[in-house]
Amino acid sequence: MAYYRRAKAALDAFRNLSSKAVPKSPVQESCSRVYSNGSANSAKFSSGFYSYSCISQRLRNSYCNPNFNTAKRYYYVDRYHVQHFRPRGPRKWLQNPRTVFIVVVIGSGAFITLYLGNLETVPYTKRTHFVLLSKAVERQLGESQFQQMKAAFKGKILPAIHPDSVRVRLIAKDIIEALQRGLKHETVWSDMGYASTETDFVNEGRAARDTLRALSENSERGKTEGKWHQEDEILDDKWVQQSRKKGQEKGLQSATSHLDGLNWEVLVVNEPVINAFCLPGGKIVVFTGLLEHFRTDAEIATIIGHEVAHAVARHAAEGITKNLWFAILQLILYQFVMPDVVNTMSTLFLRLPFSRKMEMEADYIGLLLIASSGYDPRVAPKVYEKLGQIAGDSKLRDYLSTHPSGKKRAQLLAQAKVMEEALAIYREVKAGYGIEGFL
């Protein structure tokens, strides 16, 4: 106890000495004078502190000292910290209506300019989508992924003279030429050293025979029976016709500048994977596992046309933009809802429905491409139903997968209006007339 008392006495002595060494400010002296004169209701001073009411009154009408310049004194100093009477920092400009108005106008203008400057119209469906990713960056990403893929499958890429490589290259060439006609667009064709011969290895009647083979093979299992219902999310294609109608009324032009001067390349990889894809920038990759299940040219053309349609509609760039908005929305919802719940809900109600919608759009555009290439579009429903059987379709797939079920895709294409348009194009092509501008 003796040490404690001595320490306390020493601390009190130090505090008294420091309070005498620091001179009182004019505000403190004036407030002390008011307190000593009995104005306790307007200023209360105790233990070195003086009240906010006194100083605020001094700042308003110089009650304590009329000659004191209150315009230059916005704070008081005590022995512990500095407290400001007038708020500073962000709250200062927020309290100014004029400043807030200027910030809102400039911010809104910048956002509207950014949004309208990155709106594009998808060919055929005339759907407008917002894409932040520039075309140059999109091509670079596609080229980078293509180089990584070639390095990963080194030693498994079929040579250019392999029959499967020649066959896939010729089918892809037909589709790219159809794309040029559909968009009325000049495109550079290059196939990475693959044989560039113009010799037609497919006789004139082969496409028809392929169609008959595809339609007759397992005909009972491949029948696309049933009618689509409007309440079904996957089969309801009203948005396509509504989007096309609005686009035609507004005179929207399809965005095709990202196809300028593309260096189209084709690779066939010797892997038992039932897959094919087209990277941004015109990089087409087909796996031999797909060729084992789909043996006709029309079937292969259907799948390649679908993948090329993804590149035409810039679905990869749009997906990156959508994922950015979804991530921002998730960060906001994390403040109120459990992260696991937010992730699950965003996947079920945002990401997966968006992905299925893009697949439907690629089905439509791809159907027109293969019809313009001279392949019977009636093979397409059969191909998608067969894909569903290989992958194992289920009712949950329509809601828990990035792709609609093969059966429902087949039903939609078989009954949608786009099939009528594709058949009309196909008949014109078989009659020897080239159809242009159908996208």
| SS3 assignment, position 23 | coil
Active-site pick, 120, 299, 307, 359: 307
User: What does the buried/exposed string (b/e) look like for 233-242 if buried means 16 or more CB atoms within 10 Å of the residue's CB?
Assistant: ebbebeebee
The DSSP H or E segment spanning 435 is none
Residues with Cβ within 8 Å of residue 102, at least 6 apart in sequence: none
Q: With contact defined as beta carbons under 8 Å apart, do 217 and 291 qualify?
A: no
The verdict on whether 436 is a catalytic residue reads no
Q: With contact defined as beta carbons under 8 Å apart, do 437 and 182 qualify?
A: yes
**Radius of gyration over every alpha carbon of the chain, rounded to an integer in angstroms:** 36
200: which 2 tokens?
A: 């037609």
137: which 2 tokens?
A: 């960056």
The DSSP secondary-structure symbol of 189 reads B
Query: CA 372, CA 277: separation in Å to the nearest integer?
Result: 20
Query: CA 438, CA 421: separation in Å to the nearest integer?
Result: 9
The DSSP secondary-structure symbol of 258 reads G
Catalytic residues: 307
